[in-house]
Amino acid sequence: MKSRARRFFKALHDALKGVHDALYSLVLYSFKNINRKTKSKFPVWRMKEETTEHVGRAVKVFIGLVLPLSIIYVVGQRFLFADNAVGPMLWSVAVYFYSNFLPDLPSIHRKKESELGNEDLSWYKKYALLLFAPFLIWLLFSGIRLNWRTEETYHNFTSLAVYGTFLLAVCFLAFAAYPLQLKDVTRMLFFPFCGVAGFLVHLKVDKVW
């Protein structure tokens, strides 16, 4: 029995280490390519340092909070509502890790110091840069770059609130049905919870709170 438990925990440790290493490589590779495309002078050593900090904290919170809650969520949905929630749970985990790096993605549209003080973008354009950041990065690599510049850093609780509200609205459109059932409510809440948790972890690493 002890040897089985030991093998199980070793396999779990190896799997989580694999998640850490794969996430680190993916994030570093992505930001290197973005910086190269935008001709940013952000040093590689600093990029590696920040990636190590953010990935390390993201995986730690995943192990201590998101993973246990994900298991409880899936088991609870199955036993209470006979609902297979594995798919929504995996999407929620994905949005958790994505949200850990989201506040840095719109940095390609940040104003330079010489541009500070000029009129900023309207609020809907400003937050479109945050909410649709992956699409705008795809446009960047397709040779299209919006000429939008903002002073907004997105490292604040206002951006967190906007992002959380956006995720909740998306989940309402995806899962709401008439009549609204409790299993739909839990689906609608767990996904944005994971997204907000990931965003909060990023703010914590950057000492915003």
Dump pLDDT digits (tens) for 48-71.
999 999 999 999 999 999 999 999
* Structural domain boundaries, residue 61: 2-205
**pLDDT value at position 141?**
87
For 145-172, what is the mean pLDDT? 93
pLDDT at 9: 78
Return the ∠ at Cα 166 (arms to 188 and 73), rounded to 5°: 25
Between 131 and 39, where is the model more confident? 131
Higher local confidence (pLDDT), 159 or 108: 159
Mean pLDDT on 196-202: 98
**Residue 183 backbone phi and psi in degrees, to 5:** -65, -30
Euclidean distance between CA atoms 130 and 155, whole angstroms = 11
Question: Which pLDDT band holds residue 157 (cuts at 50, 70, 90)?
Answer: very high
Read off the pLDDT of residues 85-133 as tens digits, 9 standing for 90 and up: 999 999 999 999 999 999 999 988 888 766 666 778 899 999 999 999 9
3-state DSSP of the chain = CHHHHHHHHHHHHHHHHHHHHHHHHHHHHHHHHHHHHHCCCCCHHHHHHHHHHHHHHHHHHHHHHHHHHHHHHHHHHHHHHCCCCHHHHHHHHHHHHHHCCHHHHHHHHECCHHHCCCCCCCHHHHHHHHHCHHHHHHHHHCCCCCCCCECCCCCCHHHHHHHHHHHHHHHHHHHCCCCCCHHHHHHHHHHHHHHHHHHHHHHHHCCCC
pTM, two decimal places = 0.91
Q: Cβ(191)–Cβ(89) under 8 Å?
A: no
Query: pLDDT value at position 116?
Result: 64
Q: How many domains does the chain have?
A: 1
Dihedrals phi, psi of 18, to nearest 5 degrees: -65, -40
Whether the upstream peptide bond of residue 179 has omega within 30° of 0, thus cis, is yes
**What pLDDT is attached to residue 68?**
96
